[in-house]
Amino acid sequence: MRLVLILLSIFILSGCEKNEKIVFDTPNTQVENERAKVIFQRCQRCHGMKAEIQALTRSDIIAHYSKNDLIQALTLYQKGKRDRHRFGFLMKGIIVDLSSDDIRVLSDYISKIEDKN
């Protein structure tokens, strides 16, 4: 079942990519921030409520990452091409269903999370 889901998301993602034009430094709209906030809920148990914790005592504190670094790291995890502490597979599993647009919106949100309440 899980494999089917993964294959399905890869299929869908590769289909979307052709039409998607990503402008990396466009800030999130209010609506995009709301969407990012919901996605970010799945990161909080490991990375902290405000991305201020080292996940499983190992990862970097991702609140300190720039938007572009976040986009790059997440995209590589998704492709299974990043694995700094042997937990790359874990990160991949958590974000495998995100579209590249989700990743852009999420990365903008996290990179500015310290400014938020």
Q: Select the residue interacting with ligand HEC from 24, 27, 56, 81 (CB under 6 A).
A: 56
CA distances from 92 to 5, 33, 35, 67, 78 (A): 13, 22, 20, 19, 5
- Over the window 1 to 40, marking each residue x when it contacts ligand HEC by CB under 6 A and - when it does not, the resulting string is --------------------------------------x-
Query: Residues 38, 59, 114, 98: is their CA dihedral positive or negative?
Result: negative
Closer CB to ligand HEC, residue 19 or residue 57?
57
Considering only residues 37, 50, 85, 112, which one is a binding residue for ligand HEC as defined by CB under 6 A?
A: 85
For residues 25 and 52, the answer to whether their CB atoms sit within 8 Å is no
Determine the length of the chain. 117
- Determine the residue type at 56: L
Q: How far is the CB of 87 from ligand HEC (least distance, A)?
A: 3
Tokens of 16: 């979307």
Select the span of 3-11, 17-25, 29-37, 58-66 touching ligand HEC (CB under 6 A): 58-66
Told to check if 67 binds ligand HEC by CB under 6 A, we report no
